[in-house]
Structure 1
Amino acid sequence: MKYLLMVCVDESIELTPEEDAAEMEAVGAWVREMDARGVRVLGDRLRPVSDATSIQLRGGDLLISDGPFAETKEQMAGFDVIECADLKEAIEVASKHPGAKQGTIELRPFWPEE
């Protein structure tokens, strides 16, 4: 089953260049491990929430606003699509992601292909 693994972090937390480099190395190690296991399908880091644009269509009117639609402390910073045997394996894969240590990893299953 495919899952969307959303990496959510508090963008107000500023990392030193050394901390950012260590985090990127840790994420790189996770990517290499999951690629080697054959569970990672696709993934990437996202630009900051300040670069986001939200789109809504209400009553035939197109509404465009800067920033995210959700007003939350944590914002989506990156994503991965993983393919696992079941939720148990998906949780195990997500729990190894470095983002789980300081942020939140949300797993969401894709609708099954018919």
Structure 2
Amino acid sequence: MWLTVLVLVAAALLLFAPHRFTPRWFARTETEWPLLRPTVLALWIVCVAGSVVNDFGVRIAMIALIPAVPLLTVAALHAAAPPGTGGVDGAARTGGATEGAADQRPVRTRSTA
């Protein structure tokens, strides 16, 4: 329960005191994904309003944070990845060209007719 309250307070600091408390990972993620701050604000409002209105209290915020924290982590890791790295991200960031792309051959399938 206290961890949920701590996460909500940290999110409030990120949202409402951006000049005093903005970690580098949040600023980097925000430049990569401009909708990060409105998304975190919407999640924060849902968590706080749900906790105040519902009789379950902070448990509502905890349930809302279950998918939010891993998604925010993935967004931060995606923003931290250097451009040109392999994988799906690298193909999107380098315009579709990745290392070893010339070595790939089309896959042939057998027809049943």
Write 1 or 2 for the structure with the bigger share of helix.
2
How high is the TM-score relative to the length of structure 2?
0.32
Q: RCO higher in 1 or 2 (8 Å CA, sep ≥ 6)?
A: 1
How high is the TM-score relative to the length of structure 1?
0.31
